[in-house]
Amino acid sequence: MSQVEVTGPLLRNITLIVEDIERAKEFYTGTLGFKILKDYGDYVSIQTPGGILIGLHTPHDGHTHMVETRGVEFSFLVDNVDRWYERLSSEGIPFSQKPKDTSWGTREAYLTDPDGHVLTITSLSGRTSRAV
Protein backbone atom coordinates (compact mmCIF):
# COMPACT_ATOMS: atom_id res chain seq x y z
CA MET A 1 0.00 0.00 0.00
CA SER A 2 1.48 3.36 -0.97
CA GLN A 3 1.94 6.05 1.64
CA VAL A 4 -0.51 8.98 1.56
CA GLU A 5 0.50 12.29 3.09
CA VAL A 6 -2.16 13.19 5.63
CA THR A 7 -2.39 16.90 6.34
CA GLY A 8 -5.82 16.88 7.93
CA PRO A 9 -8.77 14.57 8.41
CA LEU A 10 -8.85 12.18 5.44
CA LEU A 11 -12.03 10.16 4.99
CA ARG A 12 -10.77 6.59 4.80
CA ASN A 13 -14.00 4.64 4.75
CA ILE A 14 -17.62 4.65 5.82
CA THR A 15 -18.91 1.84 8.02
CA LEU A 16 -22.53 0.78 7.95
CA ILE A 17 -23.88 -1.10 10.96
CA VAL A 18 -26.04 -3.95 9.65
CA GLU A 19 -28.20 -6.62 11.25
CA ASP A 20 -27.40 -9.45 8.83
CA ILE A 21 -23.91 -9.39 7.33
CA GLU A 22 -24.69 -12.02 4.66
CA ARG A 23 -27.76 -10.12 3.46
CA ALA A 24 -25.78 -6.86 3.36
CA LYS A 25 -22.89 -8.51 1.46
CA GLU A 26 -25.31 -9.90 -1.13
CA PHE A 27 -26.93 -6.50 -1.63
CA TYR A 28 -23.73 -4.47 -1.95
CA THR A 29 -21.76 -7.04 -3.97
CA GLY A 30 -24.42 -9.02 -5.81
CA THR A 31 -26.96 -6.27 -6.48
CA LEU A 32 -24.74 -3.17 -6.71
CA GLY A 33 -21.60 -4.95 -7.95
CA PHE A 34 -19.12 -3.72 -5.35
CA LYS A 35 -15.98 -5.78 -4.63
CA ILE A 36 -15.15 -7.53 -1.33
CA LEU A 37 -11.63 -6.64 -0.19
CA LYS A 38 -11.57 -8.40 3.21
CA ASP A 39 -14.09 -10.55 5.06
CA TYR A 40 -13.57 -10.93 8.81
CA GLY A 41 -16.93 -12.50 9.54
CA ASP A 42 -18.56 -9.69 11.52
CA TYR A 43 -16.84 -6.98 9.42
CA VAL A 44 -16.53 -6.90 5.64
CA SER A 45 -14.60 -4.27 3.70
CA ILE A 46 -16.01 -3.57 0.24
CA GLN A 47 -14.93 -1.17 -2.47
CA THR A 48 -17.07 0.80 -4.91
CA PRO A 49 -16.01 1.08 -8.56
CA GLY A 50 -14.82 4.62 -7.72
CA GLY A 51 -12.50 3.32 -4.99
CA ILE A 52 -14.49 4.37 -1.92
CA LEU A 53 -14.26 1.85 0.93
CA ILE A 54 -17.41 0.82 2.76
CA GLY A 55 -17.36 -1.34 5.86
CA LEU A 56 -20.28 -3.60 6.72
CA HIS A 57 -20.31 -4.46 10.41
CA THR A 58 -22.58 -6.62 12.54
CA PRO A 59 -22.40 -5.78 16.23
CA HIS A 60 -21.49 -8.58 18.60
CA ASP A 61 -21.30 -8.97 22.36
CA GLY A 62 -19.50 -6.04 23.91
CA HIS A 63 -20.30 -3.58 21.13
CA THR A 64 -22.77 -0.78 21.61
CA HIS A 65 -23.26 -0.22 17.85
CA MET A 66 -26.84 -0.18 16.66
CA VAL A 67 -28.38 -0.05 13.22
CA GLU A 68 -29.32 3.63 12.84
CA THR A 69 -30.60 4.98 9.55
CA ARG A 70 -31.80 8.50 10.29
CA GLY A 71 -30.05 11.60 9.04
CA VAL A 72 -27.61 10.03 6.56
CA GLU A 73 -27.93 9.48 2.83
CA PHE A 74 -25.39 7.80 0.56
CA SER A 75 -25.24 9.01 -3.02
CA PHE A 76 -23.82 6.88 -5.83
CA LEU A 77 -23.08 8.40 -9.21
CA VAL A 78 -24.21 6.20 -12.12
CA ASP A 79 -24.13 6.62 -15.88
CA ASN A 80 -27.92 6.45 -16.34
CA VAL A 81 -30.37 6.62 -13.42
CA ASP A 82 -33.29 5.36 -15.48
CA ARG A 83 -31.41 2.24 -16.60
CA TRP A 84 -30.28 1.50 -13.03
CA TYR A 85 -33.80 2.10 -11.75
CA GLU A 86 -35.24 -0.36 -14.29
CA ARG A 87 -32.62 -3.03 -13.51
CA LEU A 88 -32.90 -2.77 -9.73
CA SER A 89 -36.72 -2.56 -9.82
CA SER A 90 -36.84 -5.70 -11.96
CA GLU A 91 -34.79 -7.44 -9.25
CA GLY A 92 -37.41 -6.49 -6.65
CA ILE A 93 -35.52 -3.59 -5.07
CA PRO A 94 -38.13 -1.09 -3.80
CA PHE A 95 -37.65 2.62 -4.47
CA SER A 96 -39.09 5.43 -2.35
CA GLN A 97 -38.70 7.85 -5.27
CA LYS A 98 -38.68 7.08 -8.96
CA PRO A 99 -36.11 8.90 -11.15
CA LYS A 100 -36.73 12.62 -11.31
CA ASP A 101 -34.84 15.73 -12.40
CA THR A 102 -33.64 18.05 -9.66
CA SER A 103 -33.33 21.82 -9.64
CA TRP A 104 -29.55 21.47 -9.14
CA GLY A 105 -29.08 19.61 -12.43
CA THR A 106 -29.04 15.92 -11.57
CA ARG A 107 -31.46 13.06 -12.09
CA GLU A 108 -31.99 10.99 -8.93
CA ALA A 109 -33.86 8.03 -7.53
CA TYR A 110 -34.05 6.89 -3.89
CA LEU A 111 -33.98 3.39 -2.43
CA THR A 112 -32.96 1.75 0.83
CA ASP A 113 -30.59 -1.10 1.51
CA PRO A 114 -31.84 -4.15 3.45
CA ASP A 115 -31.14 -2.38 6.76
CA GLY A 116 -32.93 0.82 5.83
CA HIS A 117 -29.93 3.01 4.95
CA VAL A 118 -31.06 5.58 2.35
CA LEU A 119 -29.23 5.36 -0.97
CA THR A 120 -29.49 7.76 -3.88
CA ILE A 121 -28.51 6.86 -7.40
CA THR A 122 -27.62 10.00 -9.31
CA SER A 123 -26.62 10.90 -12.83
CA LEU A 124 -25.42 14.25 -14.03
CA SER A 125 -27.28 16.18 -16.68
CA GLY A 126 -25.96 18.73 -19.14
CA ARG A 127 -27.32 21.52 -16.98
CA THR A 128 -25.39 20.65 -13.82
CA SER A 129 -23.97 23.93 -12.55
CA ARG A 130 -22.64 23.04 -9.11
CA ALA A 131 -20.74 20.22 -7.47
CA VAL A 132 -22.83 17.30 -6.33
Q: Is the pLDDT of residue 4 over 80?
A: no
Q: Do the beta carbons of residue 88 and residue 31 sit within 8 Å? A: yes
* pTM strictly above 0.85: no
Cα separation values, 86 from 41, 67, 93, 110, 123, Å: 32, 28, 10, 13, 14
Average pLDDT, rounded, for the chain: 87
Q: Output the pLDDT for position 69.
A: 67
